[in-house]
Amino acid sequence: MFPDEFDYHEATSVSEAIDLMGEHAGAETELLAGGHSLLPAMKSGLSSPDVLIDIGEVEELHGVEVDGDTLSIGAMTTYSDFIAEDVSEEHAPALYHAVRQVGDTQVRNRGTLGGNLAHADPASDLPGAALATDATIVVTGPDGERRVSADDFFFGMYATDIGPDELVTRVEVPSAADAVGAYAKKPSPSSGYAMVGVCVQATVDGGTVTTVRVGANGVMDHGVRLEGVEDELAGESLDEDSIAAAADRASEGLDTAMMMSDLQASAEFREQLVGTYTRRALERVLDRTATPAAAD
Amino acid sequence: MTEHDITLTVNGAEHDLTVEARTLLVHALRDELGYTGTNVGCESSLCGACTVRMDGEAVKSCTTLAVQADGAEIRTVEDLGTRHDFHPIQEGFQEEHGLQCGYCTPGMMMTALDILEENPDPTREEIREGLEGNLCRCTGYQNIVNAVQNAAEQMQPAAVADGGETDDDGPTPATDGGEKQ
């Protein structure tokens, strides 16, 4: 299978990428990052852009660093490069565990965190993690940078707050060095994408949950917070009973009529799965709280 | 349509070639340069038959544009060993019957190389996780895992005792909890 023909431009800086987007504003233009969502879509004919602007090698968009209380991740950082940095697990444990479950070795060697979030595939593994870690997505356009909270970033299936002349340049995660994180996912048996995935980041102090954020993907047409779970756990002790009570509230506030429904799972099944995978994610948090040393 | 002049260093040999923007790396390797050891499988970045190493990392060459690989060092299965002088990974696949039809084997071997370079003494679970992106429809995987273990032993004669730890968040197994079937 071959993609349709297109014009290819490689940007060497963020400003060049923005200029190229402006230059080709009249054409159907796509930004190319790792290409592991875009190229399959182009090969199968689902997407036929006239122009590709390759930002994958833009140096300033690569790397993970701690900047004060923030873990700053360049948008073109590959999953593998993110996992390989010790600071990733230390400061953003929930995101770290979700990234480890994206695709497979080869996909993680090419795919990027920024590309994932910009693509906003509801079945991807990172929307829930972006929400659970309270990430901020930094987008840059002709007028400079804009910072968008993950809570406001995802609009719907493949739809985000990114403007047509903007690109994601950075993901900023507030340091959660005292927190533990976990991601539990039911992968599609064929594609490995999440039929349902639940990501939890929590701080547990003396057995009591002091902070907790829970995000899910694969359930609705975009990543969502599971607010019923968060309410149930905040200020409570984390144990089998509280986990069961929290999992019971997993789909609270979600419009079940709007849940994703496809050949692989009906909406009703997904509603059950979100409870089950919430429980599994919380059980991992509990394990890691009990024995932090085993959390690697 | 745009054409681009690129340079690929394949198995140590530098090649200058002109490709269409839409040319995939696997086609540049096979059709332009004659490295036909790399197979084209599912065409949708799932099966891993097209796996090559690009700048030292296993990638799916059917999901990489040749222009994205401009300037890269590519290593294909042809570089592993010769029929008279097998690479330990090839030796392992022969010893353990790690193939039947052989179609997935070039990709399996290039991913195995990735696994063993990063982790010379992997557990069976770590081998399975590492091979998650490579599908085999013949063997049931048992012998492939055996083959990679065999290769690990050859490549690391002073083998360390078992006992690697795995992250239970994992890369998730293909089936819920069970071994890859």
**Residue B16 forms part of a structural domain:** yes
- pLDDT band for position B121 (50/70/90)? very high
- Say yes or no to pLDDT of B1 above 70: no
**Residue B173 forms part of a structural domain:** no
Residue B170: its pLDDT value, please?
52
Domain CATH for B71: 3.10.20.30
Query: Using CB atoms, which residue from A97, A109, A192 is nearest to B57?
Result: A109
Residue A1: its pLDDT value, please?
81
- Do B60 and B95 reside in the same domain of the chain? no
- Do B10 and B72 reside in the same domain of the chain? yes
| Closest residue on chain A to B107 (Cα) | A106
- pLDDT band for position B179 (50/70/90)? very low
Domain residue limits, chain A: 7-54, 61-174, 180-291
- Do B62 and B93 reside in the same domain of the chain? no
Q: Give mean pLDDT, residues B89-111.
A: 97
- Do B70 and B12 reside in the same domain of the chain? yes
User: CA of B152, closest CA in chain A: separation in Å?
Assistant: 18
A262 residue type, one letter:
D
Residues of B with CB under 8 A from a CB of A: 1-2, 4, 20-22, 24, 43-46, 48, 51, 57-60, 62-65, 67-68, 111, 114-115, 130-134, 165, 167-172, 174-176
Residue A190: its pLDDT value, please?
87
Residue A290: its pLDDT value, please?
80
**Residue B165 forms part of a structural domain:** no
- Say yes or no to pLDDT of B143 above 50: yes
Q: Which residues sit opposite A211 in a β-bridge?
A: A203
| Residues B44, B42: Cα–Cα separation, whole Å | 5
User: How many domains, chain B?
Assistant: 2
- Do B117 and B148 reside in the same domain of the chain? yes
Tell me which of B79, B100, B135 is where a domain ends.
Answer: B79
Q: Which residues sit opposite B54 in a β-bridge?
A: B57, B74
- Say yes or no to pLDDT of B119 above 90: yes
Sort out which chain A residues have CB atoms less than 8 A from B180's CB and list them.
none
Residue B85: its pLDDT value, please?
95
Q: Give mean pLDDT, residues B88-110.
A: 97
Sort out which chain B residues have CB atoms less than 8 A from A56's CB and list them.
68
**Residue B166 forms part of a structural domain:** no
| Closest residue on chain B to A96 (Cα) | B169
Domain A61-174 fold: 3.30.465
- Do B9 and B68 reside in the same domain of the chain? yes
- pLDDT band for position B158 (50/70/90)? low
- Do B57 and B92 reside in the same domain of the chain? no
Tell me which of B36, B58, B79 is where a domain ends.
Answer: B79
**Residue B163 forms part of a structural domain:** no
Query: Using CB atoms, which residue from A42, A100, A109 is nearest to B170?
Result: A100
- Say yes or no to pLDDT of B177 above 70: no
- pLDDT band for position B175 (50/70/90)? very low
The matching CATH number, chosen from 3.30.470.20, 3.40.50.720, 3.40.50.970, 3.30.390.50, for A180-291 is 3.30.390.50
Low-confidence ranges of chain A (pLDDT < 70): 291-296
Tell me whether residues A107 and B60 touch, CB distance under 8 A: yes
Tell me whether residues A43 and B43 touch, CB distance under 8 A: yes
- Say yes or no to pLDDT of B157 above 70: no
- Say yes or no to pLDDT of B172 above 50: no
Sort out which chain B residues have CB atoms less than 8 A from A8's CB and list them.
2, 4, 21, 65, 67
Count Cβ atoms within 10 A of the Cβ of residue B167 and give its class: 0-12 exposed, 13-18 middle, 19 or more buried.
Answer: middle
Domain A7-54 fold: 3.30.43
Tell me whether residues B115 and A105 touch, CB distance under 8 A: yes
**Residue B160 forms part of a structural domain:** no
Domain CATH for B148: 1.10.150.120
Tell me whether residues A106 and B172 touch, CB distance under 8 A: no
**Residue B21 forms part of a structural domain:** yes
- Do B7 and B72 reside in the same domain of the chain? yes
**Residue B164 forms part of a structural domain:** no
Sort out which chain B residues have CB atoms less than 8 A from A6's CB and list them.
2, 21-22
| Residues A243, A234: Cα–Cα separation, whole Å | 11
Tell me whether residues B169 and A7 touch, CB distance under 8 A: no
- Do B10 and B73 reside in the same domain of the chain? yes
Tell me which of B79, B110, B130 is where a domain ends.
Answer: B79
- Do B31 and B98 reside in the same domain of the chain? no
- A131: tokens are 């929400």
DSSP state of B172: P
CA proximity to A202, closest of A262, A256, A127, A283: A283
* CATH fold match for the domains A7-54 and A180-291: no
Predicted TM-score of the model (pTM): 0.92
CA proximity to A123, closest of A45, A202, A218, A203: A218
pLDDT for B54-97, tens place per residue? 999 999 999 999 999 999 999 999 999 998 999 999 999 999 99
| Residues A56, A257: Cα–Cα separation, whole Å | 39
| Residues A61, A13: Cα–Cα separation, whole Å | 8
Buried b / exposed e across B51-62, counting CB within 10 Å, b at 16+?
A: bbbbeebbbbbb
Q: Give mean pLDDT, residues B99-114.
A: 97
The reply to whether A291 touches chain B by the CB within 8 Å rule is no
In Å, how far are A29, A40, A115, A150 from A47, measured between CA atoms?
A: 11, 9, 16, 26
Domain that holds residue B133: 88-155
- Do B10 and B74 reside in the same domain of the chain? yes
CA-CA-CA-CA torsion for A3, A9, A11, A16, nearest 10 degrees? -130
